[in-house]
Chains A and B, each alone.
Chain A
Amino acid sequence: MTPPDSAMQALYKQVVMEHYRRPRNFGNLPDATHAEGGHNPSCGDQLQLMLRLDGDRIEDARFTAQGCAISVASASLMTGALKGKTVQEASALILAFTGMVRSGEAAPELGDLAALRGVHTLHTRVKCATLPWQTLQVLLEQVRPQDGA
């Protein structure tokens, strides 16, 4: 009999490896209107996030990254979820996602992103999962002043 998967094996098998091996929305976005780099100084992971905005709406999102499986999977799922959302909806998603990986509770608007809920049991990996989202946060801060203008 094979031993049951550990929490980590289960998480990796369910979603992480699939997005790590075949990340969605990976590559440059030549007509990006906004771009931001993210960096985790403690492990050296790097991420470049690119968005094309039409007014308040995110039309397209792509990323490139040199990072661990959890950070790449998180960026892959995040960029997928962002397409078609408004800046306000994206900001709400940041809160919902960071809340989920800290508490383990997945809000309904997270959709497919709920697959990363298991990260909350891996305290040392929360930073990996949130790196793309922190980068998104910084990027969206560039957008907001124009909204008010």
Chain B
Amino acid sequence: MIHPPPEISRPAPMLDVRADFPLFAHRPKLVFLDSAASSQKPAAVIQAMADFYAHDYANIHRGAYRLSANATDRFEAVRDQAAQFFGAPSRDGVIFTRNATEAINLVAHSWGQLHLNPGDVVLVSEMEHHANLVPWHLITGQRGARVEAVAMTPDGRLDLEDYGHKLRDLPVKLVALQHVSNALGTVHPARQLVEMAHSYGVPILLDGAQAAPHLPLNLDALGADFYVLSAHKMLGPSGVGLLLARPEALRGMPPYQGGGDMIREVYSQHSTYAPLPHTFEAGTPAIAEVIGFGATLEYLGGLGMARVAAHEHALLSYALQRLGAVDGLQLYGPPDDRCGVVSLNVLGAHAHDVAGFLDEANICVRAGHHCAQPLMRALGVASTVRASFSVYTTPADVDALADALSEIVQFFAETP
């Protein structure tokens, strides 16, 4: 073990929650630095789902018996809890989906079908991950509209000047931007992005998949028309995403999918639809997982999102110092306005090879284009190694990463 150089001091961890996560008891040597892909789950969340399945399970919204009514109440209570946790303007604008990707697809198809016409522009950015690009490619292709991208600055921020120019000069019908970059961790100025879009009368969707796990949010104050996120990236179960919308923004939008639960009356030849939020929730949802997500919000609320943000910020600063002191590493992304994500390359080595060596040292990272190929092109690389943090990440994890990377740099330098 190589110790940190004396001028870099280890931060005292703000949070000490590793014991809450059973995976680490089972795998004590694991250094898990891929939380941006999907986070680990606290016992409270796992237990809430197991208890529900063992004691209280029934389908919701349809059983003529108390067990089903109770399950319905618990499911709907999570909707209220989520509205409160994220400061959503109304519970009618809290829609459960499978994940953030499905929430974006819902808006793209339903809103796009209603509002997009030939020649219209959906404005994205060069930094988006594919989930906030491909749905727009699909719907604009169907509607004769097109997608334009805001440029990024060389250090990995949104080019706000270009954003302003494109809003002014192009027939923009909708803005769809990430709140936080999944590949670089850049935290974009969300309030400013919303205000600029609204000053041109353009509604805005923010992709909060990488923001919701790390930052306190108040969507009512933020003012975005649509905000999407995924439970599995924020200590919650997989299979649950959220679309948080201002109810006015949803008005008139046709259902995204047809089926049970989203109807008012169905005849053989036609049907009418249930009011918000059920219009957009066809079929049996991930009931136990939504209840698990309720436990997630309770857990995160107990920690406090401000403390979560401070913990990850302290780790990020430490990581940037430790990795910055390793010769032979190229780090990407801005020096500040960052969440707990570090993207890097070992000079002369491919990201995939580096990730393979890290895996041998029991360190889990992601390597590749992070589903953000336009961003990689803008950086002029094919791929990067990405280490990402969460509440359970410790300074020792950062040390393990920095030490292993030092050895990998050495290996590639010494091996002919």
Which residues in window 330-386 of B have CB below 8 A to A?
349-353, 355-357, 359-360, 367-369, 373, 376, 382-383
Q: Which residues of A contact B411 (CB under 8 A)?
A: 9, 12
B362 to chain A, nearest CB (A): 11
- Do residues B369 and A43 form an inter-chain contact, with CB atoms below 8 A? yes
B415, CB-defined interface residue at 8 Å: yes
Residue among A9, A46, A68, A125 with the highest chain B CB neighbour number at 10 A: A68
Interface contacts beyond A44-B376, A68-B356, A124-B359: sample of 11 additional A-B pairs, CB < 8 Å, sorted by A? A8-B356, A9-B357, A12-B353, A42-B368, A43-B352, A43-B367, A43-B383, A70-B353, A70-B356, A124-B355, A125-B352
B416, CB-defined interface residue at 8 Å: yes
B253 to chain A, nearest CB (A): 32
Q: How far is the CA of A68 from the CA of B357 in the complex (A)?
A: 12
CB<8 Å pairs between A and B, sample of 8: A12-B411, A12-B415, A17-B416, A43-B351, A68-B351, A70-B353, A125-B356, A128-B352
Q: Which residues of B contact A44 (CB under 8 A)?
A: 368-369, 373, 376, 382-383
- Do residues A69 and B373 form an inter-chain contact, with CB atoms below 8 A? no
Q: How many residues of B contact A (CB 8 A)?
A: 20
Q: Which residues of B contact A7 (CB under 8 A)?
A: 360
- Do residues B349 and A69 form an inter-chain contact, with CB atoms below 8 A? yes
Q: How far is the CA of A66 from the CA of B383 in the complex (A)?
A: 10
Which residue of chain B has its CB nearest to the CB of A21?
Answer: B416
A131 to chain B, nearest CB (A): 11
Q: How far is the CA of A23 from the CA of B327 in the complex (A)?
A: 26
Which residues in window 1-59 of A have CB below 8 A to B?
6-9, 12-13, 17-18, 21, 42-46
Given A70-B353, A122-B356, answer yes or no on A13-B369 (Cβ-Cβ < 8 Å). no
- Do residues A69 and B382 form an inter-chain contact, with CB atoms below 8 A? no
Which residue of chain B has its CB nearest to the CB of A122?
Answer: B356
| Chain B interface mostly | helix
Q: How far is the CA of A30 from the CA of B416 in the complex (A)?
A: 30
Q: How far is the CA of A47 from the CA of B283 in the complex (A)?
A: 43
- Do residues B415 and A124 form an inter-chain contact, with CB atoms below 8 A? no
Given A8-B360, A69-B350, A128-B352, answer yes or no on A17-B415 (Cβ-Cβ < 8 Å). yes
Interface residues on A, range: 20 to 34
A67, CB-defined interface residue at 8 Å: yes
Which residue of chain A has its CB nearest to the CB of B383?
Answer: A44
Q: How far is the CA of A7 from the CA of B356 in the complex (A)?
A: 11
Q: How far is the CA of A6 from the CA of B360 in the complex (A)?
A: 8
B226 to chain A, nearest CB (A): 28
Q: Which residues of B contact A6 (CB under 8 A)?
A: 360
Q: Which residues of A contact B355 (CB under 8 A)?
A: 124
Q: Which residues of B contact A125 (CB under 8 A)?
A: 352, 356
Q: How far is the CA of A43 from the CA of B360 in the complex (A)?
A: 19
Q: Which residues of A contact B383 (CB under 8 A)?
A: 43-44
- Do residues B359 and A43 form an inter-chain contact, with CB atoms below 8 A? no
Q: How far is the CA of A112 from the CA of B26 in the complex (A)?
A: 41
Given A9-B411, A44-B382, answer yes or no on A68-B350 (Cβ-Cβ < 8 Å). yes
Q: How far is the CA of A114 from the CA of B351 in the complex (A)?
A: 25
Q: Which residues of A contact B353 (CB under 8 A)?
A: 12, 68-70
Q: How far is the CA of A67 from the CA of B415 in the complex (A)?
A: 18
Which residues in window 381-416 of B have CB below 8 A to A?
382-383, 411, 415-416
Q: How far is the CA of A124 from the CA of B354 in the complex (A)?
A: 12
Which residue of chain B has its CB nearest to the CB of A9?
Answer: B411
- Do residues B415 and A13 form an inter-chain contact, with CB atoms below 8 A? yes
- Do residues B360 and A18 form an inter-chain contact, with CB atoms below 8 A? no
Which residue of chain B has its CB nearest to the CB of A5?
Answer: B411
User: 1/0 contact trace for A57-90 toward B, CB 8 Å?
Assistant: 0000000001111100000000000000000000
- Contact among A18, A42, A45 with B382 in the assembled complex (CB-CB below 8 Å): A45
Q: Which residues of A contact B356 (CB under 8 A)?
A: 8, 68, 70, 122, 124-125
Which residue of chain B has its CB nearest to the CB of A13?
Answer: B415
Q: How far is the CA of A43 from the CA of B349 in the complex (A)?
A: 14
Q: Which residues of A contact B382 (CB under 8 A)?
A: 44-46, 66
- Contact among A8, A17, A18, A21 with B357 in the assembled complex (CB-CB below 8 Å): A8
B363 to chain A, nearest CB (A): 13
Q: How far is the CA of A12 from the CA of B411 in the complex (A)?
A: 10
Which residue of chain B has its CB nearest to the CB of A17?
Answer: B415
Q: Which residues of A contact B368 (CB under 8 A)?
A: 42-44
Q: How far is the CA of A9 from the CA of B410 in the complex (A)?
A: 12
Which residue of chain B has its CB nearest to the CB of A70?
Answer: B353
Given A6-B360, A8-B356, answer yes or no on A67-B350 (Cβ-Cβ < 8 Å). yes
Q: How far is the CA of A21 from the CA of B357 in the complex (A)?
A: 18
Q: How far is the CA of A13 from the CA of B369 in the complex (A)?
A: 27
A43 to chain B, nearest CB (A): 4
